[in-house]
Structure 1
Amino acid sequence: MNALEKIQRQIQWNRLIAVVEEQAQTMIRTAFSTTVREAGDLSAGIFDLEGRMLAQAVTGTPGHVNSMMESVGHFLAKFPAASMKPGDHYITNDPWLGTGHLHDLTVVTPAFRNGAIVGLFANTAHIIDIGGLGMGPEGRSVFEEGLYIPIVKCFDQGAPNETFFDFIRVGSRTPVELEGDIYSLCACNDAGAKRLVEMMDEYKMDSLDGLATFIFDSSLAATQEAIAALPRGTYQAEIRSDGYEAPVTLRAAMTLHEDRIVVDYAGTSGLSTRGINVPPSYCRAYSCFGIKCVVAPDIPNNWASLKPFEMMIPEGCILNAPRPYPVSVRHVIGQLIPDLMMGCLSHAVPDRVNAEGSSALWNPPLRGGSQVSGQAAETEDFEIITFNSGGTGARPTKDGLDGIAFPSGVRTMPVEATENVAPVIFWRKELRPDSAGAGQTRGGFGQIMEIGAKGDAEFAVNAIFDRVANAPKGRLGGGEGANGWVGLDDANGTVLRTKGFQVVPKGRHLLLKLPGGGGMGDPRQRDPKLVARDVADGLVSAAEAKRLYGWGG
């Protein structure tokens, strides 16, 4: 391939990324669920006819993107590409064939040019309700957690599968949003397919094979080159999670080879009886992301750039849940994995990793009306999830980010958007002073949130919180971030459980104090001007500034 051909291939590659980003933005514009429309809890990508991901949208979460990368192969195993027709759309929410729990819908759509199939588009979106017990950890098997959709056609040559939609509508507390989201997912794949055909027409491409070879060869070579520059060895780390019945320990031993990285999770805690278990695809998804952030952050994410990362996940551990174990809130454990990967890499490249952060989202599922209070209900029935985050860990040269989701990358949902679709009121949403771990670079600050139902009516929260008993740790002498806290706004400061369905009584509000990120380096080495700025902003009290940083005012 000469220089001009390489330039053209690179332009085509960039066009593919633009195509799938338009695919994702179409979903955001047309979605019914606030989780997609406001938080961007989704993924979108294009695949070759062997089910290998060529490119992903910039918008999206690693848990969705990297586990969706595996899911397309499962679709092809049931519906081979040769059997697909224009206008077909296929769907599943199988946690072991999709992205880890029933609340994620994955849709795969073929793209045709001149009557021949040329590629596949896939997307995933988190929907508000899929029936069952709802979003929460209380289920004792996946069958209690909601409507289980195998890989089926939801559209057959452009015609909706009415039987499928009948089941969908009667199986959810939010049928309009659910049906609307499925149409949105199909529409966004159609938008991607249209742009792909326009691109192929422009470049007179009969297939994606040549471009796929260029993408995969370039990505694999670049990733292996980045791995080769790392110091060889095996590096270990562990993280503690609050768990459900008992605390959970995640252990990893990462071996850096010349051309690949192998992670062994031996020693990790066993399976839970509740829905905090993690299907293996979701474990691999966040493992790859945590490694890639450090080792090869500038290399586009695709099948080949992830191929050198291998996971050994023992049977019977919480990161390798078999069917039918409950997995509804697999993110609570799964989103700790990038911090664990950075813990291993901190021994090899300490100047390239972050301190630990709040990690798992604090996204309280709220429910009210007759399904909580029966005939005494003072509000209409509602089911809503709002996405929020604590502080991220400090970076080697910069402070952590305040109230920002890492590793998921989802956006914080505006309170107005949630209040517009459900009878809830956010009485407080503010940064949490003195929550950031001290360090030469400090962690990000958590948040304080106070939530009630309209009229101070009774409502319920299906708690799915972590980092309450186990605060985010600092690195290189940095301090821990503040522990999270879950309770009521009463004078006694009533404490609620961090996980499980609980009722907030009439007249009371749910009070959340989100964790802060860990610090990095000796706090006494922090620039006094930065300490003074945080004190002036009311984020660090004068007493804590003096105690932690030696600040003299």
Structure 2
Amino acid sequence: MPDGNSNGALAAIQRQIQWNRLIAVVEEQAQTMIRTAFSTTVREAGDLSAGIFDLQGRMLAQAVTGTPGHVNSMMESVGHFLAKFPVETMQPGDHYITNDPWLGTGHLHDLTVVTPAFHKGRIVGLFANTAHVIDVGGLGMGPEGRSVFEEGMYIPIVKCFDRGRANETFFDFIRAGSRTPVELEGDVYSLCACNDAGAKRLVEMLDEFRLDGLDALAAYIFDSSLRATLAEIERLPRGTYRAEIRSDGYEAPVTLKAAMTVHPDHIEVDYAGTSGLSGRGINVPAAYTRAYACFGIKCVVAPEIPNNWASLAPFRMVIPEGCILNAPRPFAVSVRHIVGQLLPDLMMGCLHQAVPDRVVAEGSSALWNPPLRGGAQVSGGEAVLPDFEIITFNSGGTGARRGKDGLDGTAFPSGVRTMPVEATENVAPVIFWKKELRPDSAGIGRTRGGFGQIMEIGTKGEQEFAVNAIFDRVANPPRGRDGGGDGAPGWVGLTDGETLRSKGYQVIPKGKRLLLLLPGGGGMGDPAGRDPALTERDRADGLVTR
């Protein structure tokens, strides 16, 4: 078998085989987390990321399972770990952890773990992962905080395992600071096991291919990915393209503006004119901005090229200080996804002017994931229900595609799975009385948008409970493109018709239920050009009633 330095066609084929094996390694890494996680956000929704990095902290490969906000932010975070714990200080069995929003993936509910991988006594790579956990104390996941210090436990980059031994002081702190201590501790062990699984498979891979390390393979991956990405950029028409999009915001509506300039060898996005910082937790750290903006560009410009350090390098961001997309420490950032997940739609608004056939219409974008709370922490001494803290992930419709309708109740751009109601009801005393597609919510067009959902939520015994509303696209519905209609706006209220705020902590009174109407996606093209058979199909399914 040729060694790692072989030249020629056979060596190129072998590098491709090694690349495919590396993808299998990181996918098993991610699946280990899903199968061992305690939080439903991880095991049911897949709100996580997993990847392998070289010793300079550059991402080589990511698991297919994972969200852009986690994967692309985590790509930057490994460098912060190395700044505190250089490679030469790492030992087998070490695991490092943080939830620092500016060193990790944007808010305190995301735990990021980095683990060195050793082969024949020598460090050869780094595995990293991120997972969204249910609770880290503080106000809980919601927009109410006025600084990050109110939003939960703040974990700097520390060792949670030292040469295979648990840091008991660390675990004492996190257990004491969470409403769900068992789940939180279990998730940390899950994240560490996830990286250990990746490291084990990497050693097997290196032995099988008789490799001493990853340097040669990394060079092949980075060179191939960069050349392919630059070739795709070269195909784009030169120019500067501008777009803007509005979010409902918290204190006031938020406007996101972008000027995207296509250069011969890179794409630069300038966010000048974007709204300023909020006094509440909807601000976005810069790494999260880069994560979702790069994802939006990549979906259009180079969707078939693997996502790694080199393929993302040509996408550059200019994010002015003081704007909501560049929140400094210690601004509140708990629900940064409310604004950040609109960025792919903003990027497509720019790219629609350059390559209109490749983009989709606007979708519901930001997840509708209501954090629910009950028991004594809501009702005090009158509580009948046991204490619970839960979050469930749900989505409205995606925007219409050029040749196909949008997807119904599907998370884009986050890519997380919709959580089964049975999984949530199994771990908390809540009942989902209704969860169905929302008729007439899709934007009309030659291809229509995806339909949103209707959700009706109560508790066992119809007791009072609280929702920390973190919803958007209520005042600013998804827009259609090229003559397509807008999707239906979202709505938050009670089943008796009372309207609730789309953001903030609110108590659902005893005997009443929460009602959520999720937005539909925007349509694409002139509705007069739609195939009548498709409209009739939707009408027969009860999805179009008008």
Structure 1 CA distance for aligned equivalents of residues 440 and 318 of structure 2 = 39
Matched with 1:311 is 317
Name the amino acid aligned to 1:355: A
Question: Which residue does 1:123 correspond to in 2?
Answer: 129
What is the identity, as a one-letter code, of the residue corresponding to 2:544?
V
1:336 to 342, 348, 354: 342
Out of 500, 507, 510, the residue aligned to residue 503 of structure 1 is 507
Offset at residue 225 of structure 1 (A): 0.2
Partner of 2:410: 404
Which one of the candidate residues 428, 431, 434 is aligned to 1:428? 434
Structure 1 CA distance for aligned equivalents of residues 11 and 287 of structure 2: 36
Distance 1:366 1:523 in 2: 39
Partner of 2:388: 382
The aligned amino acid for 2:534 is L
Name the counterpart of 2:206.
Answer: 200
- 1:150 and 2:147 are equivalent in the alignment: no
Partner of 1:107: 113
Q: Which residue of 2 aligns with 1:74?
A: 80
User: Does 2:472 correspond to 1:466?
Assistant: yes
C-alpha distance in 2 between matches for 1:296 and 1:14: 19
Q: Which amino acid letter does the alignment assign opposite residue 479 of structure 2?
A: K
1:358 equivalent among 351, 358, 364: 364
User: What's the offset of the Cα at 1:277?
Assistant: 0.1
Inter-partner Cα distance in structure 2 for 1:188 and 1:305:
25
SS of the aligned residue for 2:433 comes to: strand
SS of 2:261's equivalent in the other structure is: strand
Query: 1:355 deviation in Å?
Result: 0.0
Task: Give 1:305 deviation, angstroms.
Answer: 0.2
Q: In percent, how many aligned pairs have the same letter? A: 83
Q: 3-state DSSP class of the match of 1:311?
A: strand
Give 1:336 shift: 0.2
Aligned residue type for 2:516: L
Q: Is 1:526 the equivalent of 2:530?
A: yes
- Equivalent residue, structure 1, for 2:176: 170
CA distance in 1, matches of 2:383, 2:300: 51
Rounded Cα–Cα distance in structure 2 between residues aligned with 1:338 and 1:469: 19
CA distance in 2, matches of 1:512, 1:376: 27
Return the letter of the residue paired with 2:83: A
Q: Which of 540, 548, 551 is 2:544 aligned to?
A: 540
1:226 aligns with one of 222, 232, 249: 232
Shift of 1:150: 0.1
Secondary structure in 1 matching 2:70? helix
Q: What is the SS of the residue equivalent to 2:291?
A: helix
| Cα deviation code 1:388-410 (max 9, x no counterpart) | 00000000000000000000000
CA distance in 1 between counterparts of 2:498 and 2:83 reads: 52
User: Letter of the aligned partner of 1:535 in structure 2?
Assistant: R
- Partner amino acid for 2:397? G
Q: Which amino acid aligns with 2:80?
A: H
The aligned counterpart of 2:4 is: none
Pick from 264, 267, 270: which aligns with 2:276? 270
Pair 1:94 & 2:88 matched: no
* Corresponding residue SS for 2:256: strand
> What TM-score do you get using the length of structure 2 for normalisation?
0.99
Separation in 2, partners of 1:7, 1:223: 21
Tell me the amino acid that sits aligned with residue 136 of structure 1: G
1:148 is paired with a residue whose SS is coil
CA-CA distance at 1:259 after TM superposition: 1.0
Letter in 2 for 1:255: T
1:176-191 correspondence runs (5 A): 176-191=182-197
Describe the superposition over 1:453-505 as per-residue Cα deviations: whole angstroms up to 9, x where unpaired. Answer: 11000000000000000000000000000000000011xx1000000000000
Residue identity matched to 1:298: E
For residues 484-535 of structure 1, the C-alpha deviation after alignment (integer angstroms, 9 at most, x for no partner) is: 0000011xx1000000000000000000000000000000100000000000
| Runs of at least 4 residues off by over 3 Å | none
Deviation at 1:378, TM superposition (A): 1.5
Give 1:327's match in structure 2, choosing from 325, 329, 333: 333
The equivalent residue for 1:51 is 57
1:259 to 265, 269, 291: 265
Q: Tell me the residue number matched to 1:24.
A: 30
Write the letter of the residue equivalent to 1:521: G
1:548 aligns with none
Aligned length: 540
Q: Deviations over 1:197-247 (max 9, x none)?
A: 000000110010000000000000000000000000000000000000000
SS in structure 1 of the partner of residue 130 of structure 2: strand
Name the CA distance, whole Å, in 2 between partners of 1:359 and 1:507.
Answer: 32
CA-atom RMSD in angstroms = 0.4
Return the TM-score normalized by structure 1. 0.97
Instruction: Tell me, in whole angstroms, the C-alpha distance in 2 between the residues paired with 1:538 and 1:378.
Output: 39
How far has the Cα of 1:111 moved from its partner? 0.2
Q: Distance in 2 between matches of 1:525 and 1:11?
A: 46
Q: In structure 1, what is the equivalent of residue 3 of structure 2?
A: none
- Residue by residue over 1:50-82, the C-alpha shift from the partner in whole angstroms, topping out at 9 and shown as x without a partner, is 000000000000000000000000000000011
Partner of 1:439: 445
User: Could you list the runs of 5+ residues in structure 2 that have no partner in the other structure?
Assistant: 1-6
Secondary structure in structure 2 of the residue aligned to 1:285:
helix
CA distance in structure 2 between the aligned counterparts of 1:526 and 1:377, rounded to whole angstroms: 54
SS at the partner of 1:234?
strand
SS of 1:143's equivalent? helix
Give, in angstroms, the shift of residue 417 of structure 1: 0.1
Structure 1 counterpart SS, 2:156? coil
Once residues 14 and 239 of structure 1 are traced to their aligned partners in structure 2, the CA distance between those partners, rounded to angstroms, is 39
Give the structure 2 partner of residue 550 of structure 1.
none
Matched, 1:242 2:214: no
Tell me how far apart the structure 2 counterparts of residues 453 and 243 of structure 1 sit (CA, whole Å): 29
In structure 1, the partner of 2:517 is 513
Give 3-state SS (helix, strand or coil) of 2:525's partner: coil
> What residue identity is the alignment partner of 1:236?
R
